[in-house]
Amino acid sequence: MEFQAVVMAAGGGSRMMDLTSSIPKALLPVGNRPLIWYPLNLLEQVGFEEVIVVTTKEVQKMLNLETKLKLDIVCIADDADMGTADALRHIHQKIKTDVLVLSCDLITDVALHEVVDLFRAHDATLAMLMKKACESTELVPGQKGKKKLVEQRDFIGVDGMGKRLLFMANEADLDEEIIIKRSILQKHSRMHIRTGLMDAHLYCLKKYVVDFLVENRSFSSIRSELIPYLVRKQFSSPAPLQQGQSNREQDEKKKDQKSLDIYSFMKDDNLFDLDTDNFGWNNHRGDMNEAFHGEKVRCYVHIMKEGLCYRVNTLGQYIEANRQVPKMLPLLCPEEPLVHSTAQIMDKYLVGSDSIVGASTQCGEKTAIKHSVIGSGCMIKDKVKITNCIIMNSVRIEDGCILQNCVVCQNAVIEKGADIKDCLIGNSQHLEPKSKHVNEIIMGTEQLMEI
């Protein structure tokens, strides 16, 4: 077994609490499938047979997936304040090989071998996935007229080939200028600094990185702490061991260094002990030159140029993913139609070809559904018009209602003749007959929202 796969599914979805207050983030429906299904399906498609899933007891109880994968579910306490590095440390005894870590909120059609081959070819410490961030032009329900929060940018430095990850810093950690270490420029005289890239939270990591985390508990997050550390360590050198020391003295010194840097956790590779001057010309050329001549820490990035890649961690991204997934599902599940076989639809020609309708949902006469995702067990009466909407499970919509660009959470009831536009309707909410709502967030007072 070359890799073990780990899916991180314990996050609470703090940036979209109105959705996750009643449904755990990992189980939020996207295209009528739980969010966690997408990274698990990606792993299954490339041949993984077993996946470690780090999650909460709440998710474990509700998780009901049809998958051929053997899921090794590890639960952490609901009130545990664990970052992704903490979670990887928590399961370290299960990790026997190099590891592929994915977030449960990743939806992508990336050719996974592009990342893995990069990791293999360069004997990398880290290989990760990024894609140019695309902002949706669609209005987010309830947000018209509100000031949009500006996220601080990441500055990503790559080599001329766009593969070697040379520099990484967030705008919040920089002063007025970007400072590049001389040791980087000595080896890579040309560096491209890029902004506007989204970290997909898909990482290939060496086993010794997990060992390093076990001993260095100051790291809580893979993304914001561990990866910047690894990128910085590429062009530094381990503390040299003095000549003439015995093996025992060297081992003791290595133990003392374990809390200091990652070099102490790397296995001694015979490659570095060989007399490389007696090798052929090719060990001095290309990127493997670094493997022979001192650079043991190497970080790489695969930047997707086309295809789908979404982090579903805000309401805006949740809506965009639901709009794009109908294009993706026929490729992932060609045997399953977008309109479930048990759905009862009176006028099927009024359901758009890019819409999804879930199991046991009933749609009355002259009801039109366009560019929308309708969940399971919904009751939609006659002469209803639904456009650009996400309707979750067990929602009831009475006669003559009009819904445009809305998200309606599970068990909501919309009475006869209601006209709703650009709204988010919370779990189990009840809208009065002939009521009109525009650009509102309608939910219980205990549910708060951050976009």
Q: Decide: pTM greater than 0.85.
A: yes
**Structure tokens given for 144:** 């018209």
Considering only residues 306 and 171, tell me which one the structure prediction assigns the higher pLDDT: 306
Report yes or no: 72 and 50 within 8 Å, Cβ to Cβ. Answer: yes
Give 172's pLDDT tier (boundaries 50, 70, 90).
confident
Burial class (CB in 10 A: 0-12, 13-18, 19+), 277: exposed
Please say if the pLDDT value at position 148 is more than 70. no
- For residues 196-213, average pLDDT: 95
Considering only residues 89 and 133, tell me which one the structure prediction assigns the higher pLDDT: 89
- For residues 124-149, average pLDDT: 78
Please say if the pLDDT value at position 269 is more than 60. no
pLDDT tens-digit map of 61-110:
988 888 889 999 999 887 777 899 999 999 999 999 999 999 999 999 99
Among 66-75, 135-144, 207-216, 247-256, the minimum mean pLDDT is found in: 247-256
Report yes or no: 43 and 51 within 8 Å, Cβ to Cβ. Answer: yes
Please say if the pLDDT value at position 450 is more than 80. no
Please say if the pLDDT value at position 327 is more than 80. yes
Among 89-103, 133-147, 355-369, the minimum mean pLDDT is found in: 133-147
Provide the b/e sequence for 13-34 (b: ≥16 CB within 10 Å). Answer: bebbbbbbbbbbbbbbbbbbbb
- For residues 368-382, average pLDDT: 97
* Residue 121, CB-side half-sphere exposure with 13 Å CA sphere: 14
Burial class (CB in 10 A: 0-12, 13-18, 19+), 379: middle
Please give the pLDDT value at position 133: 83
**Structure tokens given for 97:** 């090989």
- For residues 1-11, average pLDDT: 90
Handedness of CA 154, 197, 208, 288 (dihedral sign): negative
- For residues 117-132, average pLDDT: 95
Please say if the pLDDT value at position 318 is more than 70. yes
- For residues 383-403, average pLDDT: 97
Considering only residues 144 and 254, tell me which one the structure prediction assigns the higher pLDDT: 144
Give 280's pLDDT tier (boundaries 50, 70, 90).
very low
How far is 72 from 79, CA to CA, in rounded Å? 21
Report yes or no: 31 and 373 within 8 Å, Cβ to Cβ. Answer: yes
Query: Could you tell me what percent of the chain has a pLDDT over 90?
Result: 58
CA distances to 41, 142, 416 from 401, rounded to whole Å, are: 36, 19, 6
Considering only residues 28 and 136, tell me which one the structure prediction assigns the higher pLDDT: 28
pLDDT tens-digit map of 20-37:
877 899 999 999 999 999
In 3D, which of 382, 407, 405, 409 has the Cα closest to residue 394? 409
